[in-house]
Chain A
């Protein structure tokens, strides 16, 4: 996970609460991705950013928003969390480097 940081590592939310997951890289790569990983569902793409200033929806974007703040940072926001968003979230840099993940539980 060298060069990729994700915060927080763990989070528990109540239904309806909001939060932002942060991802930052120091490798100067263009592409950044947000995936969720659920048991039996593999890795599903939420949003991605091919370069600074661009974002695109992935397979499961509903309930999420993203911001590519600059080349280093790509954040994922849950405006009104739902139990179905309980998952492990990974930020991926340049198709090669995974962040350590954020384990989110929504009660």
Chain B
């Protein structure tokens, strides 16, 4: 089955700097890669996703890149703000294939002001 590894486990950045979180997946047939943000005491919320037919997707300060050959995808947050502090999870799945959604272990992002 699919295996997703996420790095780093913790990340501290200065407000205004960029943050990058990387994930690798094992199943080359996976075709949907969502990213979630979990704030303290809340459930994860989808913040951005990418499908295997796209190499990059942006939404304001957040972007995701996908390298299918290397089987890795990354979350990029620019101009970080204190409210970006949270736990971020990546995931991978073969959509439409009766498959399970597999999560990375999570990254604790701290933005220092």
Binding site for B on A (CB under 8 A): 1, 33, 35, 42-43, 45, 48, 50-51, 54, 56, 58, 90, 92, 95-101
Number of residues of chain B lying within 8 A (CB) of chain A: 22
Residues of the B chain whose Cβ atoms lie less than 8 Å from the Cβ of A43 = 44, 89, 103, 106
Residues of the B chain whose Cβ atoms lie less than 8 Å from the Cβ of A33 = 100-101
Please give the distance in Å from A57's CB to the nearest CB on chain B.
Answer: 9
Q: By CB atoms of chain B within 10 A, which of A45, A50, A95, A96 has the most? A: A95
Q: A1-B43, A33-B100, A45-B102 are in contact. Are A95 and B36 (CB under 8 A)?
A: no
Q: By CB atoms of chain A within 10 A, which of B45, B95, B101, B103 has the most? A: B101
Tell me, in angstroms, the Cα distance from A7 to B6 when the chains sit together: 31
Tell me, in angstroms, the Cα distance from A73 to B15 when the chains sit together: 42
Tell me, in angstroms, the Cα distance from A81 to B18 when the chains sit together: 44
Residues of the B chain whose Cβ atoms lie less than 8 Å from the Cβ of A56 = 98, 100
Is B46 in the interface zone, CB < 8 Å from A? yes
The reply to whether A42 and B32 form a contact with Cβ atoms under 8 Å apart is no
Is B91 in the interface zone, CB < 8 Å from A? yes
Residues of the A chain whose Cβ atoms lie less than 8 Å from the Cβ of B36 = 98
Residues of the A chain whose Cβ atoms lie less than 8 Å from the Cβ of B102 = 45
Please give the distance in Å from B11's CB to the nearest CB on chain A.
Answer: 16
Tell me, in angstroms, the Cα distance from A58 to B2 when the chains sit together: 12
The reply to whether A96 and B89 form a contact with Cβ atoms under 8 Å apart is no
Residues of the B chain whose Cβ atoms lie less than 8 Å from the Cβ of A95 = 32, 34, 91, 93, 95, 101
- Beyond A51-B98, A98-B44, A98-B45, 10 additional pairs, beta carbon < 8 A: A42-B105, A42-B106, A43-B89, A43-B103, A90-B43, A95-B34, A95-B95, A98-B36, A99-B43, A101-B43
